[in-house]
Amino acid sequence: MVTRLEEVRNEKIKKLEALKKGRYNPYEIEKYDKQFDVDKLQQKYEKIKTGEESKEIIKTAGRITSIRGHGKLFFLDLNDEKGKIQVVIRQDKTKNFDDIKYLGTGDFVGVQGNITRTNSGELSIVVQDFTILCKNIMPLPDKWHGLEDPELKYRKRYLDFAIDKDARDKLYAKFKMIENIRKFLNTKGFIEVETPILQNLLTGANAKPFVTHHNTLDLDMYLRIAPECFLKRLIVGGFEKIYEIGRNFRNEGIDFKHNPEFTMMELYWAYADYEDIMNLTEEIITSAIKETTGKDSLIYDGKEINFKRPWKRISMLQAVKDATGFDFEKLSEKEAKEIAIKEGIDLEFDSSKGRILSELFAKHVETKLINPTFVIQYPVEVSPLSKRNPKDPKYTNRFELYINTWEFANAFSELNDPFDQYERLKKQVEQKELGNEEAHDMDYDFIEALETGLPPTGGLGIGIDRLAMLITDSHSIRDIISFPTLRPEAGTLELLLEPHNSSLKKKNQEIKIEKQQQNSFSKKETKTDKKKLPLNREKAWKLIQKYNSEKTDLNHYLESEAVMKALAKKLGEDEEYYGLLGLLHDVDWELTKTDTTKHLTLAPKILKEQGFDDEFICTILSHGYGCDCAGLKDKKRTKKIEHALACSETITGLIHAYYLMRKTFDGMKAKGLNEKFKDSKFAQKINRNAIKECESLGLILVEFMQLAIDAIAGIKDKLYL
């Protein structure tokens, strides 16, 4: 059966063939003398009056996004890189008027004519002659709705950019920001340099690398995780102020602020320390914001972020003490480990006090840092390349900059003691031998470079993509990366032209991915094995109905089950196990809802009697962490499966509220749901932070929303609606 897409595409091909036969082949045109960008025309003729026509003949070009009219008069919307202008094709004015029959939306055209302002007040080009420069064959999405599927939006970025000026503007802002950072550093006397992307050793950061192979040398190599050690070699070699803006690659999870390849700016300044670098960081970022946006402050996700200098500075030691009450200066190693165990911190590779302090900071402090804050003096155990603090050698003269709870910069007074550096890298190697894939390799050449002599130096790394997210109020790193990393999938044209081959390729690719895919959440957390459950799904549903009868509650359990199963499929986990967690998570709700503090107090007994083990019951209880029930208020979710249950059962309420407003699941999209999610008055009792825990699973918010919508829409016939 021929689809509507195939019909439209075939019609466009017929127009192309007619154009080739009747006039010319547009693909043979090599250039067009475009004299004006659309925005320049808008500026130049801003004051032209209605009915007035310019004497000047102008030439411009762009893509046609709309065609209106019939008979002797047509109106076109012409879009180029900078803007949009109306084009008027009239039988009495346009020499090749009859060529309108070859024209279609999506085509690139060059136009020549006079500028006028129509009776409706719109600046327009009255065309004397036009040339079709390229025919559009694959139709563009509807310009009013755009690409509603968030996955398609990132997979086919050329379509997104072609129809959505806001998407292009975000990249413009990013590129302008990078240009401003370069200009600022150049005026400060820094020079831009280049260092290798293919590297022999894993150095410069703690991260899991991408591994490749050089055939001629028969040598496994890494895509760089950071340029740090090579940039320091340049300082050893006599350069004093250098920077590099380039791509780094880390073989880790994907979420709203992480992409496997990303842009960093790193600089090194000889004879400076980390205090100098802190001041320079303030200057770089405030200058980038001011020059890119024209403002001194930013609004991100509805919150105003104040960049007035100087920014707050606090030691990690003090920050953790203020947030938790734990004073690591007074704690013994044993006491620190006991705290770590209670807090759920993994001590497999490193159980040092410094590492535990760092983990507690990440857990209890990061999420509270909104306005720019320098967190200084990191433990030496987590800072293998930083110079020790002379007053307290347990800590280093290092800082990380946090804005909007995210890490934006990492910097320190660089360690230039080759003997200390050697000992610290030895400890990294020991961790690597224990199985820590993120630990540094031993870099003897780097040690030798330090023995050659590295002057006192301050170094800095800034995440360019995150800064661009902040400046453009983007809620996903994918919005400010031209072509973000995605799982391969058969494209529209492939499915049209080679449906059998593309389906086979897709199936083989899925099998390959399933076999090779590594867990992107944490190397320490293994995949949930297929577990034997004491009840099948039918008996579990009867158990729910034994204790619950209200239709709204039963809907919630069914919806949670559906979302959990869909999430398990997405993550490669046990769908039956995840599904029963979703179905049974509130098994005692109607027994306890008159006093919600007692919720989940009866669930363990009910589930235990049915034969469920402690692991299943503890996961059920985890969705109540942070809530005033069953004594769970102070507990924190740490496991993937806990995050999965929390975000899955919570989003059902948001989706159901959206359904009640729309009266249908048909056509429900993540884009619309996300707009409601941003409205704090909509579904006020929904725990939005719990929904955002999908990001801990490597999913961006809109991706999770669409998954959940599709899952619930798929069982709508089973719901009590």
Which 3 state secondary structure label does DSSP give 106?
Answer: coil
Provide the domain count of the chain. 2
- Helix, strand, coil shares of the chain, percent, nearest 5, are 45, 20, 35
Closest-CA residue to 476 (of 691, 700, 303):
700
Task: Write down the pLDDT at residue 528.
Answer: 44
Over residues 527-543, the mean pLDDT reads 83
Tens digits of residue pLDDT in 449-483 = 999 999 999 999 999 999 999 999 998 999 999 99
CATH number at residue 584: 1.10.3210
Domain-located, residue 521: no
CA-CA distances (angstroms) from residue 387 to 230, 373, 628? 18, 21, 45
- Residue 494 has a pLDDT of 75
- Unique residue bearing structure tokens 């081959």: 501
H-assigned helices in 455-498 = 464-472, 492-497
Residue linked to tokens 């910097």: 411
Confidence of residue 505 (pLDDT cuts 50, 70, 90): low
Q: Of 140, 166, 181, which residue constitutes the final position of a domain?
A: 140
Kindly state the tokens that stand for 608. 């235990």
Model pTM greater than 0.85? Answer: no
Rama region for 415: left / alpha / beta (φ>0; ψ in -120 to 50; rest): beta
E-only strand ranges, 501-553: none
* 511 in any annotated domain: no
Higher per-residue pLDDT: 140 or 194: 194
Task: Decide if pLDDT at 546 tops 50.
Answer: yes
CA atoms lying within 13 Å on the CB side of residue 241: 13
Specify whether the CB–CB gap between 211 and 222 falls below 8 A: yes
Rg of the chain (C-alpha set) = 30
- Write out the two tokens for 99: 């060529």
Q: Is residue 185 part of a domain?
A: no
| Domain containing residue 57: CATH number | 2.40.50.140
Q: What's the rounded mean pLDDT across residues 658-663?
A: 88
Domain membership of residue 123 (yes or no) is: yes
What pLDDT, on a 0 to 100 scale, did the predictor assign at position 99?
Answer: 96
Computed over every residue of the chain, the mean pLDDT equals 90
Residue 62 lies in a domain: yes
CA atoms of 473 and 341, how far apart (whole Å): 38
pLDDT at residue 709 in the model: 95
32 falls within a domain: yes
pLDDT given at position 507: 57
DSSP 115-173: EEE-TTS-EEEEEEEEEEEE---SPPPPTTT---SHHHHHHTHHHHHHH-HHHHHHHHH
Say how far apart CA 311 and CA 330 lie, in whole Å: 29
Whether 467 is in a domain gets the answer no
Domain annotation covers residue 605: yes
**Long-range CB contacts for residues 295-302, cutoff 8 Å, separation at least 24:** 298/470, 298/471, 298/473, 299/473, 300/404, 300/470, 300/473, 301/404, 301/473, 301/475, 301/678, 302/678
What is the Cα–Cα distance from 371 to 376, expressed in whole angstroms?
16
pLDDT at residue 671 is higher than 60: yes
Distance (Å, whole) CA 220 – CA 229: 19
Report strand pairing: 123-134 vs 84-90. Answer: parallel
Mean pLDDT along residues 508-518: 51
Both tokens of 530, joined, read 């297929």
Give, for 92, the enclosing helix (H) or strand (E): none
Structure confidence at residue 524 (pLDDT): 39
From CA 321, how far away is CA 316, in angstroms rounded? 8
Percentage above 90 pLDDT, the chain: 71
- Write the pLDDT tens digit of every residue in 586-608: 999 999 988 888 999 999 999 99
Cβ-based neighbours of 483, under 8 Å, separated by 6 or more: 157
- Segment 158-209, tens digit of pLDDT: 888 988 889 999 999 999 999 999 999 999 999 999 999 999 988 888 888 9
Q: Is the pLDDT of residue 509 over 70?
A: no
Positive/negative CA dihedral, 441, 445, 448, 453: negative
Q: Tens digits of per-residue pLDDT, 217-263? A: 999 999 999 999 999 999 999 999 999 999 999 998 788 889 999 99
Final residue of a domain: which of 105, 140, 175? 140
pLDDT given at position 504: 56
CA dist 612 and 532 (Å) reads 10
Q: Taking Cα atoms as reference points, which of 90, 210, 64, 212 lies closest to residue 143? A: 64
More confidently predicted of 491 and 99: 99
| Domain range enclosing 674 | 537-718
pLDDT (tens digit per residue) in 419-428: 999 999 998 8
Q: Among 89, 106, 140, where does a domain finish?
A: 140
Amino acid 516: pLDDT: 47
Question: What tokens were used for 467?
Answer: 């800064």
